[in-house]
């Protein structure tokens, strides 16, 4: 009895489940890097006063969401990529019958259109909008940055396409040892591409603030000063003047008992308390006797229970200590997000700081997990190729 079909079916199910989890995690990494770089929070607030260690350790805002919160990111990126990938393949098929020319044309068109789709999604009012027409004007307004972005991403896209083809498409042409070597290469190229795309989105956002400036609010007009009207002569009985006219003079010795009472529909006529204008000293009332405190069985003392028992401890709890440390020294990313004036456009948006900002422990750990996941998925794919039944 041939055991190949028995092993092939569970292995293909495990490969699908692992692939869904892996690419959801990769989509989460891609969006985190692009959004944190695109909103300018990756740039230091005071670059000249920072040490190299603090500059490196301030990484991206990796969220601690559960795996199920990453699934929509995978379908979101698949939606954006599929909208631009399908026309690229159709145009490549229409251009030539040669398979190499088809692949080349489709790859070039996808390399040009995918960044436009992602930046359109980030710039428009809806995340699911892959074509925001005003973005073309922003790209024309930054021709040098646009040309530099496509120039720097061309070798990265070619490298990722080649490694993806060797790892997953033509798996039989690559030995197992090359899987361990190409997986970290794919991860590094992926991280650099996400950083470049995020910085390009930040440049376009700066151009947007220049082109679409909000109109300055008109200065408020100061009201004209009106001459105060003289107050009428008050009534000698009630010391109140005519209530229909406005004036600043108030009664001096009028008592509420002399005024007409207030009649309400639910209660009787109400009058206020009279005021003693003679200046006699206030008679202090004797203190009321203190109420008796009743104790119950099992109570050690009758002391009141504090509202926050943690204040009476010698050592605060760990969450309060961590919150106090974060408030005393907030990370640069949080400072950049809550600054009144956002970060300005850098002189060299594709400088060395793109790589330096990724050299922190959290980003390296995320890259190692992605590399291991790619290697495992490639090995599962090779196992499926070996167990595939002949057609």
Residue entry with tokens 């600043």 = 248
Parse the chain into domains and list their residue ranges: 4-212+332-387
The answer to whether the predicted template modeling score (pTM) of the entire model surpasses 0.75 is no
Residue 382: φ, ψ to 5°: -70, -35
Give CB contacts under 8 A, 24+ apart, made by 205-213.
205/38, 205/39, 205/40, 205/123, 206/344, 206/345, 207/138, 207/141, 207/142, 208/123, 208/138, 210/141, 211/137, 211/138, 211/141
pLDDT at 91: 92
pLDDT at 48: 43
pLDDT at 172: 62
pLDDT at 57: 47
Q: What is the pLDDT along the chain (391 residues), one digit of tens a residue?
A: 566 777 778 888 888 899 999 999 999 999 989 988 887 766 554 444 445 544 444 567 777 667 777 888 999 999 999 999 999 989 988 888 888 888 889 999 999 999 999 999 988 888 888 888 989 989 999 999 999 999 999 999 999 988 888 888 776 666 677 788 889 999 999 999 999 999 999 989 888 877 776 666 677 777 777 777 776 666 555 555 555 445 455 555 677 777 778 877 777 777 777 777 777 777 777 887 777 666 666 556 656 655 554 444 555 555 666 667 767 777 665 665 565 555 677 778 888 888 887 888 888 889 999 999 999 988 888 888 777 766 5
């Amino acid at each position: 009895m041939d055991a190949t079909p028995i092993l092939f079916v569970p292995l293909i199910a495990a490969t699908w489940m692992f692939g869904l989890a892996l690419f959801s995690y990769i989509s989460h990494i891609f969006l985190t890097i692009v959004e944190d770089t695109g909103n300018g929070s990756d740039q230091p607030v005071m670059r000249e006063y920072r040490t190299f260690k603090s500059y490196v350790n301030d990484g991206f805002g990796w969220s601690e969401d559960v795996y199920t919160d990453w699934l929509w990111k995978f379908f979101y990126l698949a939606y954006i990529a599929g909208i631009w990938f399908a026309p690229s393949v159709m145009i490549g098929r229409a251009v030539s019958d040669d398979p190499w020319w088809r692949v080349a044309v489709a790859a070039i068109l996808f390399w040009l259109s995918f960044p436009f789709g992602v930046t359109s999604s980030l710039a428009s009012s809806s995340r699911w909008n892959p074509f925001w027409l005003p973005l073309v004007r922003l790209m024309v307004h930054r021709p040098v940055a646009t040309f530099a972005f496509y120039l720097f991403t061309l070798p990265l896209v070619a490298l990722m396409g080649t490694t993806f083809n060797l790892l997953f498409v033509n798996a039989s042409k690559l030995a197992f040892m090359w899987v361990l070597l190409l997986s970290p290469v794919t991860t590094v190229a992926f991280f650099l591409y996400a950083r470049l795309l995020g910085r390009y989105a930040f440049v376009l956002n700066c151009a947007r603030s220049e082109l679409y400036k909000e109109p300055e609010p008109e200065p408020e007009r100061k009201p004209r000063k009106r001459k105060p009207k003289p107050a009428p002569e008050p009534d000698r009985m009630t010391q109140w003047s005519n209530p229909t006219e406005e004036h600043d003079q108030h009664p001096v010795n009028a008592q509420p008992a002399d005024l007409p009472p207030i009649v309400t529909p639910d209660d009787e006529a109400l009058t206020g308390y009279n005021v003693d204008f003679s200046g006699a000293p206030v008679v202090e009332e004797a203190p009321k006797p203190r109420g008796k405190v009743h104790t119950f069985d099992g109570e050690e003392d009758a002391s009141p229970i504090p509202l926050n028992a943690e204040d009476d401890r010698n050592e605060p709890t760990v969450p309060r200590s961590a919150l106090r440390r974060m408030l005393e020294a907030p990370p640069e990313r949080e400072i950049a997000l809550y600054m009144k004036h956002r970060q300005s456009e850098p002189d060299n948006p594709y400088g060395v700081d793109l790589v330096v900002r990724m050299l922190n422990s959290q980003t390296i750990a995320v890259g190692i997990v992605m590399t291991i996941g790619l290697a495992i998925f490639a090995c599962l794919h090779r196992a499926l190729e070996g167990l595939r039944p002949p057609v």
